[in-house]
C-alpha cells in the first residue's frame, strides 16, 4: 500500500479510533434548539425571522451578512422564541435564534427518501445556487462557505480537487463512517464539485489506518465510473497515517507535491480541498434540495461506556446529547469539542452544536494532567515536528518577549495550531497556547496594516478623482 504523505514534520499520536464500529445513528430532536448566527468563517448571518414566527425544518432563518458568509436554516419545526446573544461552548456571547420544537415538519421541496440520485444537472449556475442557498460550509474544521471556495479569483484555475478523508485527529470517526455508510453519496458530491470547478481529476485521500474505507470507496467509484464518465477522474489515494495529514497545505503537498506559499491559498497552486462531510452535504443540497441542518459527530473517550456516531440537528444543546447518551461519564474531567489535538475545551455544556461540530470527547483527570513546564533544553523536537517548517522554540521566545516584528518575520502567521510542537516537547512547555496567542497578535497587526493601506489608497483615489 502506498505511503503518500507530506514532507515536513508531523507526529504519530495513538489514533484511538475506539468508536470506529459505531454506525451513524440519528439523535432524537431536542425540545429547544439554539441556532448560532456565527457558525461559519466570515460575517455573521442576519436573522430574517421574528420572535413568534412559525418555522419548518429546512426553512431559511438567517441570510448571509456579507460576501464571505452563509445562509442558516431552521433545523427543526416550531416557534421562534427569542433572538439574541447566547453563550457558546467557550462562554463567548454569540447571536442566536432560539426555536421551541413542535413536531418535525420539513419544507416541501426536500426529498427525504433514501433513493440514491446519481444524475445531476449540467447547469453549474443552478448547482452553485443550491450550494449557496443550502448554507453549505466546509465541515473539516474551518467552516469556510463552500460557494466562495468554489469561485476561484480571476486568473486562477483549479487543476485538482482533493477530498480530505484522512480524519487524522485521534478519536474522531464520523468521516470514516460517512465513507463506509454513505460512500455513494459522497462520490456523487465529489463529481458535482468536479463539474463546478471544471476539473477532470479528483483525489479522495484516506489514511491507511482505514483500509475498509479505502476498499469500499474504490469499489463505489469503480461501479459509478462504469455507468457514467462523470466519475472516471476520481482516484482513491491511501495516505500514511500521520498527523496532521488532513491539514489543507499538508494534503496538497502529499497529493500534488506542491507547496502553498506563506499567506497563499490552495488555489494558488491549482488545488481546492474539501472534506468528505462537505461532499456529502453538497450531494444533499443539490440532489435532495436539503440544506445543511444536521451534521455528524463522534461521541467518544476512554471513560465513555458506549461510543457513538450521532447525526445531530444543528443547534442541539451539548447537555441534551450527553443526556441521550446516558449522562456525563463518571470519570470525565474535561470535555472537548472536536478532537484532542485541535479541539476546543468546553466550559459551557448548555452551548449548542454548530454546523462544524465534529466530536464530543471526554477526557479523564489523568489524561488532562500536564507535567510542570521546565526550561527549554534546545533539543529541537518541536521544530522537527512542525508541519509548517516553523521554529516553535524561537517563536516562543519572541512571543514571551512581545516581539511582534520578530514573530512576523519568523512566519508566526503560518502556524496552523496543530499542537505537534507541544506534543513533542520533553520540557512540557505549553507551546500551543503560546503559538495561538502569538498568532492572534500578529494577525491583528497584519489586518490593521492592511486596513490602513486600503484606507490610504481609497483616500488617494478620491483625491485624484476630485482634481
382 binds ligand SF4 (CB under 6 A): yes
83 binds ligand SF4 (CB under 6 A): no
Shortest distance in whole angstroms from residue 441 CB to ligand SF4:
14
262 binds ligand SF4 (CB under 6 A): no
Among 121, 326, 380, 430, binds ligand SF4 (CB under 6 A): 380
432 binds ligand SF4 (CB under 6 A): yes
Among 4, 19, 59, 420, binds ligand SF4 (CB under 6 A): 420
Shortest distance in whole angstroms from residue 383 CB to ligand SF4:
7
27 binds ligand SF4 (CB under 6 A): no
Determine the interface stretch with ligand SF4 among 114-122, 309-317, 419-427, 440-448 (rule: CB under 6 A): 419-427
Shortest distance in whole angstroms from residue 428 CB to ligand SF4:
8
Shortest distance in whole angstroms from residue 351 CB to ligand SF4:
25
Whichever of 285 and 421 has its CB closer to ligand SF4, that residue is 421
- Using an 8 Å Cβ cutoff, are 68 and 43 in contact? yes
Whichever of 320 and 393 has its CB closer to ligand SF4, that residue is 393
Among 390, 398, 399, 434, binds ligand SF4 (CB under 6 A): 390
407 binds ligand SF4 (CB under 6 A): no
Whichever of 318 and 431 has its CB closer to ligand SF4, that residue is 431
Whichever of 42 and 392 has its CB closer to ligand SF4, that residue is 392
140 binds ligand SF4 (CB under 6 A): no
Phi, psi at 421, each rounded to 5°? -65, -50
Residues in contact with ligand SF4, total (CB under 6 A)?
Answer: 28
Residues that bind ligand SF4 in the complex, under the rule CB under 6 A: 376-382, 385-386, 388, 390, 392-393, 415-421, 424-427, 429, 431-432, 435
Amino acid at each position: 500500500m502506498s505511503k503518500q504523505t507530506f514532507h515536513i514534520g508531523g507526529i504519530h499520536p495513538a489514533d484511538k479510533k475506539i468508536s470506529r464500529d459505531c454506525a451513524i445513528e440519528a439523535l432524537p430532536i431536542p425540545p429547544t434548539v439554539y441556532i448560532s448566527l456565527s457558525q461559519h468563517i466570515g460575517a455573521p448571518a442576519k436573522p430574517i425571522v421574528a420572535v413568534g414566527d412559525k418555522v419548518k425544518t429546512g426553512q431559511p432563518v438567517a441570510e448571509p451578512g456579507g460576501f464571505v458568509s452563509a445562509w442558516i436554516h431552521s433545523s427543526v419545526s416550531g416557534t421562534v422564541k427569542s433572538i439574541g446573544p447566547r453563550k457558546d461552548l467557550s462562554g463567548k456571547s454569540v447571536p442566536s435564534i432560539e426555536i421551541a420544537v413542535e413536531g418535525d415538519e420539513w419544507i416541501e421541496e426536500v426529498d427525504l427518501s433514501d433513493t440514491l440520485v446519481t444524475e445531476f444537472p449540467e447547469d453549474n449556475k443552478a448547482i452553485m445556487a443550491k450550494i449557496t442557498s443550502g448554507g453549505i460550509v466546509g465541515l473539516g474544521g474551518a467552516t469556510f462557505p463552500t460557494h466562495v471556495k468554489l469561485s476561484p479569483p480571476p486568473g486562477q484555475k483549479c487543476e485538482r480537487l482533493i477530498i480530505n478523508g484522512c480524519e487524522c485527529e485521534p478519536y474522531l470517526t464520523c468521516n470514516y463512517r460517512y465513507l463506509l455508510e454513505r460512500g455513494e453519496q459522497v462520490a456523487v458530491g465529489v463529481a458535482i464539485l468536479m463539474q463546478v470547478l471544471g476539473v477532470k481529476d479528483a483525489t479522495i485521500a484516506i489514511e491507511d489506518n482505514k483500509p475498509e474505507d479505502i476498499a469500499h470507496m474504490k469499489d463505489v467509484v469503480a461501479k459509478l465510473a462504469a455507468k457514467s464518465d462523470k466519475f472516471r477522474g476520481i482516484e482513491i489515494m491511501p495516505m500514511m497515517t500521520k498527523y496532521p495529514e488532513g491539514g489543507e497545505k499538508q494534503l496538497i503537498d502529499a497529493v500534488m507535491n506542491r507547496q502553498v506559499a506563506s499567506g497563499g491559498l490552495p488555489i494558488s497552486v491549482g488545488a481546492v480541498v474539501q472534506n468528505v462531510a462537505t461532499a456529502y452535504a453538497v450531494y444533499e443540497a443539490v440532489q435532495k434540495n436539503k440544506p445543511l441542518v444536521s451534521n455528524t459527530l463522534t461521541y467518544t473517550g476512554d471513560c465513555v461506556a458506549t461510543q457513538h456516531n450521532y447525526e445531530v440537528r444543528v443547534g442541539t444543546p451539548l447537555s441534551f446529547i450527553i443526556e441521550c447518551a446516558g449522562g456525563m461519564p463518571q470519570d470525565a474531567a474535561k470535555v472537548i469539542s472536536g478532537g484532542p489535538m485541535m479541539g476546543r475545551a468546553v466550559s459551557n455544556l448548555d452551548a449548542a452544536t454548530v454546523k462544524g461540530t465534529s466530536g464530543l470527547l471526554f477526557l479523564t483527570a489523568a489524561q488532562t494532567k500536564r507535567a510542570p513546564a521546565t526550561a527549554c533544553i534546545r533539543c529541537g523536537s518541536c521544530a522537527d515536528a512542525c508541519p509548517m517548517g516553523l521554529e516553535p522554540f524561537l517563536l516562543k521566545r519572541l512571543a514571551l518577549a512581545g516581539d511582534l516584528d520578530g514573530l512576523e518575520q519568523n512566519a508566526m502567521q503560518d502556524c496552523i495550531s496543530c499542537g505537534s510542537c507541544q506534543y513533542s516537547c520533553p520540557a512540557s512547555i505549553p507551546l500551543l497556547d503560546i503559538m495561538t496567542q502569538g498568532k492572534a497578535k500578529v494577525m491583528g497587526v497584519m489586518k490593521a496594516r492592511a486596513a490602513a493601506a486600503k484606507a490610504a489608497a481609497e483616500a488617494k483615489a478620491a483625491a485624484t478623482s476630485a482634481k
